[in-house]
Every structure is written in structure tokens, then in C-alpha cells.
Amino acid sequence: MAVDELDTRILRLLIEQPRTSVREYARILGIARGTLQARLDRMERDGVITGTGPVLSPAALGHPVLAFVHIEVTQGHLDDVGDALAAVPEIIEAFSITGGGDLLTRVVARDNGHLEDVIQRLIQIPGVVRTRTEMALRERVPHRLLPLVEAVGRASVRRGERVGG
């Protein structure tokens, strides 16, 4: 799905002002509300926009410890282990990966002892061979997409996909 300059402007507003109404977005962009809604619907349908909920802080929810746990899985058990990981509330993300391990999980915990308990729970999952844990010390670049959105927008203008409204 090609994201053009107008889509980029819409996405920027959604990121910077997430609690603004569609009517206000249309006014700010100088386009018709129907045009904006059609663009939003298309970007949702195409998977560009995947959610609209609040961004939550695990630390503020009492889980300030962040670790990345690499999990090596017995061959043929990746799906089963993935399903079992979904039942562990402290796992906030999990990815199949290449390289040193089969899965990479992002795990939050109340403290180091709680993290150890979570890791022990992971080791007990049938199909898990071993884990390797790396603890995050400080977030250097928070999760963000605006720089990517802006880069995609600049590229679309260079390709001549400029849309005015």
C-alpha cells in the first residue's frame, strides 16, 4: 500500500494529537471530513493503522523491570511454545527470530526476583530448550513511528506522489 503525502500528514496528526476528533483533523488539514474518513478507513483496511488505544507504561503499572529473553525451542514446537507464551501476562511481545535462538520476548517484571520467577515459568514450557536473558538498563529511544512516517512521506514526494486533498 502506497502512503502518499496526505496520508503522511494524517498519520502525523494521529501520532501527535491522538485524542482529536475526525472533524478537527479535517479542519487542520484543510480537507473534507469524508476525504479524511475515507483515508483513515483505507489505512485501517490496509493495515497501516493497527490500533487506536492508549499507550500504557508497564513501569507505571508496577512492572519497572524490562528484559529481553531469547528462547531456544525444540524443533517442531515453535507454535506450541508461542501459544504457551501468550498465556504469560508478563510477556508483552514475542517474535520468531533468526540468529541465536528461535524466539525473542520482551518481558516486564515487578523486580529482579519476579523476573527470575517468570523465566523459571518459561523454562517449564514443553519445547523450551534454554533461555538467555538481557536486562534493559535505560530506554534510549522510546517506541516511535513518526520519524518513519515522515521518511515515507518524503520518499513519496520524491516519487511524485504528492496529493493535495
Express each pLDDT in 17-35 by its tens digit: 999 999 999 999 999 999 9
**One-letter-per-residue 3-state SS of the chain:** CCCCHHHHHHHHHHHHCCCCCHHHHHHHHCCCHHHHHHHHHHHHHCCCCCCCCCCCCCCCCCCCEEEEEEEEECCCCHHHHHHHHCCCCCEEEEEECCCCCCEEEEEEECCHHHHHHHHHHHHCCCCEEEEEEEECCCCCCCCCCHHHHHHHHHHHHHCCCCCCC
Nearest Cα residue to 31 out of 54, 57, 5, 67: 5
pLDDT digits (tens, 9 = 90+) for 85-118: 999 999 999 999 998 889 999 999 999 999 999 9
CA distances from 35 to 32, 110, 152 (A): 5, 46, 21
pLDDT digits (tens, 9 = 90+) for 112-149: 999 999 999 999 999 999 999 999 999 999 999 999 99
Q: What backbone phi and psi angles, to 5 degrees, belong to 52? A: -135, 10
**Whole-number pLDDT of residue 34:** 96
**Whole-number pLDDT of residue 165:** 46
**Whole-number pLDDT of residue 155:** 83
pLDDT digits (tens, 9 = 90+) for 32-76: 999 999 999 999 999 999 988 888 999 999 999 999 999 999 999
